Each structure stands twice: as structure tokens, then as C-alpha cells.
Chain A
């Protein structure tokens, strides 16, 4: 607890210090806490704290960025997300004056790639050429997720090196290539992605991932997006996924099977405040398959979504209704409720879950807001799980004239 407070204080101090001297600052500080009261468990008087701090600052070509998140109740309650106590970003980058084609960065960074995204502690060199091409080389040590140290002996083998190349020779074509070698036992993974447009209405995209250890393609996807009317969009995906992991893992049933899929969707846009989307999916495993259907309706802040997944197990019926709106530029209300009927194994269990959340927010001043939330969950662990959240959030910006 003490070390966390120290780290948080240092981060805030460094952020404020950097922000005070910077030409441009952008950031968010969010503090809050949950109070829990589940009917089926002993009453809990604790307040479970949450923190989130994001700051980026720019001065004379030097950019600093930090992101930190903390929640202290993931290991006390089973049905919460586990990404707690993470210094996600802490890096500095430099672009020399009159050398916009070059930038270097060092620290903890986030790298989105074609086949995965990752965090690492290390350095990054990026070169750009006239908006036509860019190349990036990065390397360092991977940052484990919460349990990776225990599960994968992450500390023993985590050095990584990777690179990315983007070429956009004409305005209608862009090619992305990237590669990563993650640890000394990894032979590496290559990703390729090609996008092109035909006229101003059709976008085509093809991507694939090749794993050098298994010398096989683990992912391939071809997609087309067509703008049928001014705003209406039709989308089609065809592809395959074959994430070959260690077959001794207990969850290989969900992760391992190779499969092919087809997904199609159409979004009708009536006007700026109303749209209707329809989605269809077809998936084929070696010995099983299924279909999915979904409808999405958005009307002036109200949204309704109904999804149905049928075929061999699992199956599900998923419904969600909600509303989000701001009044008088000062008050915001978010309401959402959902019901799911699902079956995930071969024991023909018919499980039901529902939830309700009500979250009013008051905008106290520009960028400063306080919020509270009531959440009710019913699931296979708790008959009625009540949660109350309260928090304050400050968004701050400087250096922009807006």
C-alpha cells in the first residue's frame, strides 16, 4: 500500500511538473471507489479504490506520456476485471526540430501490431518519408500481465525485438508489414496487411499472420467495406483463425480449434441520430459450426441490441437496452440493462444472467465531473449483487486554442 501511494504520488508529481512546463498538455485523472453488497455473500464494508492517471505533455519536440491504472479489489471479488495496479505507459519521445522524419522513444510503451498488441520496456526508432513510407524498429523487455509471471515464467525469457513497415505509394493503397520475436524460444511471427480503396465507396483489406515456429498461417482475413449510400455501410469478412497453442492447456477447447468464418453486416443510417445495423456470422470448425445474428438500433441516445448465437454449443441469446444523454451541457445520465441466456458446455446447462446500471454524472466545470453509479448483477454466483460506485474525473488540456 505504501509503495503504491509513493508511486502514485511520484507519478502525479512528475506529471504536474512536466505539464507545468509543457507547451501542450493532455490528460485525465480519475479517482473512485466501489462499495459492494452481494446478497449471497457476507456484507463487505470495505471501499475498493480505483485510480487512473493519464498524462501526455509536449515541449520542443520532446513528448512525455504516462498512464497508470489501479484497482484493489480484483482478487477479492471474482467477477471483476483483473487489470489492476499497472503502470501501462511511461515513456519519452523526441523528434528533432526540422527533422520530422525521425523520432526516438524510450521507456514503457504500447505497440499495436497486426497480430497482437504488446507492452514493453525499451526503445523505439521511427523513420518517415514524406508520408509515403515509415519504418519502425523497437526492442526491450515485455511487460507481463497480472498472472504471466506465474503461468509462463515470464521473467525467465521476455526479451523481444520487432519492427513495422508501412508503405503508401498512392493514396488508394497502403501496405503494413510487421514482425516480432518474443523471447529466445520464439522463432517469430510476421504480419502483413494490405488496404486499398476503389473510388470513394469501396475499401478492401487483406491481412495475414504467419508464425515461423509452426511455419503456418495462424490468421488470414479478407474484408470489404462498401459505402452504399451517403452514410450506409456494408461490410463483409471472410477468413480463418488457427491459434496453435500448447494443447495441454485446459482451455484449449475454446482457443485452439482451427476455423473459418464469414461475417456480413449492413448499417442503415437514417440521419445523424438514428441508425439500424444487421449482422450475420457463419463459423465452421472441423466438427461443429454455428451461426450468429445481431440487430443494433440507435435512436437519439437510445440503443437496443439483440444477438442470437445458434448451432453446436455454446449458444446464447443476448439483449441489451440503454440510454445515454446530456442535458443543459451539465448533466449526463447513462442507463443500461441486459439479459443473457447462454449455454457454454455439453451438460445442457441453461444459464441466465441479467444486469442493470444507472450512472448520473454532473459536470462541475470544464473537464471536471463527478459521477456515481448503481449496478445490479444476477449471475450464476450471485442472486443479487449490488454495487455502488462513486468517482471524480478531471480532463485537462492546454496548448490548444479551442
Chain B
């Protein structure tokens, strides 16, 4: 077991080093295309704007779209489509299979592209801007608009059974009660009441009739500490200090 844990610890930096080797970012100028050539977003991103899924959005820009203008450009004849090699287009959050997003619905609702993606080609900016400046969205960005203008429901964006990537943390996985209810009960409201993010303390500070443990847990928690200490540590780490609150100076059978 010792060897296994040391191997695990050693694997972490190795993984980090491997991931640090990113692909070379290609320069793509939105300013060149939007300001100077006066192209609209739909000239290149028509498929994206008509897509109803994230997968559809990902294939919204292909080499064919570029070749409409660049077919005779020998410098453009690269083996692979430039945009597909560009690391900036590895849209991490937007590729998340646990998320749903309907570009078409937003376009139909007359939401401007810049409302979500920002000004990729500011007027007067003649400098070629790398595509890595593409403004990707976080949940907070979505909520800022949805709180004002649209319905807020978890399952509008999050698929029914999968938890978001950010919820794969060790703490969340081990919070059995919360994870199970959210995942199986398809109920996120325990921690995300109407879109807000609740910390542990918003429910568990102080006391009320809501009990986390059974009423007699003060007396019979000993077996759980012995058999499921990892579960205890999820909320009560470090255990030495937590246990000391009651047991210090009184012994294991403090009364």
C-alpha cells in the first residue's frame, strides 16, 4: 500500500509536466476579417449559429468555410485546418458533455454574438489578434444574463444525470448524501438554490431541526469513526482537532 501511495504522489507532477506541453497557438486575426474585410459572424460561423447542441457548435467552422475566400491562397494549403489545430479552439467548458447549449435559440432571441463572446475585433484595433483571445464563458457569465432575462433552471443547461466537471473533486464525490441526491434525484437545488452557489455553512452553521446525523449519533458514532473515517473527514477534517472538541481531557468515552 505504501508503494501505491508513493506512486500516486509521484504521478501528480508527471501528469502536470505532460499537460504543460500545449500545442502551438496559431495567429488568427478577427480584426482582419471583421473590421477590414467587413465579414459578419455568420459568414464563417453559420453552422454554429444554427446549431442546437454543443457538438454542433464545435463543427461550426471547417476548412470549407475558410476556402470560400482562401481557395486560391497557396499559403493556406496546410495539411490540417488551421482552426482545428489552434489550441484556443479547444473550448474546454463548451466541450463538456454534461452541458447543453443551443446557439440557434440565442440567435433567434436576438442575443448578439458579442453579448457572450465580447468584442473580438474592437473598432480601430488594427493589430492581428490571436484567436486565444476568444472569450469563453463561465457559468457566472451565463447567470448574469439569465438572472435578468430568461428562465433559470439547472436542467436547461446541465444534462440530467451527469455532474459538471467541476464537481468531480474529491470532496464532492465523497459527500455521499449530497452527491447522490444531486445525481440520482436530479436535484441540484440543495446547494444551488435558483442558480446561487451555497456553501456548507449556509445550511450547516448553527443548528435547526435539520439533522445531518441521527439523533443519538453522539453516542453511537464510534463505529463509524472506526469503519468510515474517510467519510467523517469529508466534513470534519482535520479529525484531530474536531475530535478534541469533545474528547480532549475526557477520554474516548466522554459523557
Interface set of A (CB-CB < 8 Å, partner B): 23-24, 26, 28, 30, 32, 50-52, 54, 56, 65, 67-71, 78-86, 88-89, 95, 98, 100, 110, 112-117, 128, 130-132, 145-148, 151-152, 167-171, 173-177, 192-195, 197, 200, 203, 205-208, 210, 217, 219-223, 225, 227, 230-231, 233, 237, 239-241, 243, 245-246, 249-251, 253-255, 259-261, 267, 269, 272, 275, 281, 283, 290, 292, 309, 313-316, 318, 320, 338, 340, 342, 344-345, 351, 353-355, 357, 359, 371, 373, 375, 377-381, 389, 391, 393, 395, 397, 399-402
Contacts and interface: CB of A to CB of B under 8 A. Distances in A.
B209 A389 contact: yes
Q: By CB atoms of chain A within 10 A, which of B149, B193, B206 has the most?
A: B206
A2 B36 CA distance: 70
A243 B206 CA distance: 27
B75 interface: no
A401 to B, nearest CB: 6
B1 A240 contact: yes
Interface string B211-255: 100111011101111111110010101111111111111111101
Contact of A117 (B136, B138, B200): B200
Given A32-B208, A249-B240, A371-B209, A292 B248 contact: no
B198 to A, nearest CB: 8
B115 interface: no
Contacts of A241: 229-230, 233
Contact of B250 (A250, A313, A391): A250
B74 to A, nearest CB: 33
Given A83-B206, A148-B245, A338-B216, A131 B9 contact: no
A14 B99 CA distance: 37
A176 B186 CA distance: 26
B169 interface: yes
Q: By CB atoms of chain A within 10 A, which of B97, B203, B240 has the most?
A: B240
Interface of B: 1, 4-6, 8-9, 11-12, 15-16, 19, 22, 90, 92-93, 95-97, 118, 136-138, 140-141, 146-153, 161-162, 165-166, 168-171, 173, 180, 183-184, 186, 193-196, 199-209, 211, 214-216, 218-220, 222-230, 233, 235, 237-253, 255
B248 A71 contact: no
Contact of B215 (A24, A167, A342, A355): A355
B207 A353 contact: no
Nearest to B118: A98
Contact of B226 (A26, A148, A314, A373): A314
B212 to A, nearest CB: 9
B165 A174 contact: yes
A114 B171 contact: yes
A174 B240 contact: no
A351 B9 contact: no
Contact of A377 (B215, B230, B244, B248): B215
A82 B216 contact: no
Contacts of B242: 145
The 3 tightest CB contacts between A and B, nearest first, are A69-B206, A344-B222, A69-B205
Given A79-B219, A80-B207, A281-B228, 9 more contacts: A26-B196, A69-B206, A145-B242, A217-B5, A217-B9, A231-B161, A251-B244, A269-B184, A353-B220
Contact of B95 (A171, A219, A260, A378): A171
A125 B228 CA distance: 35
21 contacts: A26-B193, A52-B208, A89-B202, A114-B170, A130-B92, A171-B165, A192-B12, A203-B168, A206-B11, A243-B239, A250-B247, A254-B225, A261-B230, A309-B223, A338-B216, A340-B214, A359-B209, A391-B208, A393-B208, A399-B147, A401-B151
Contacts of B247: 249-251
Given A67-B202, A112-B200, A260 B168 contact: no
A321 B161 CA distance: 27
Contacts of A205: 168, 170, 173
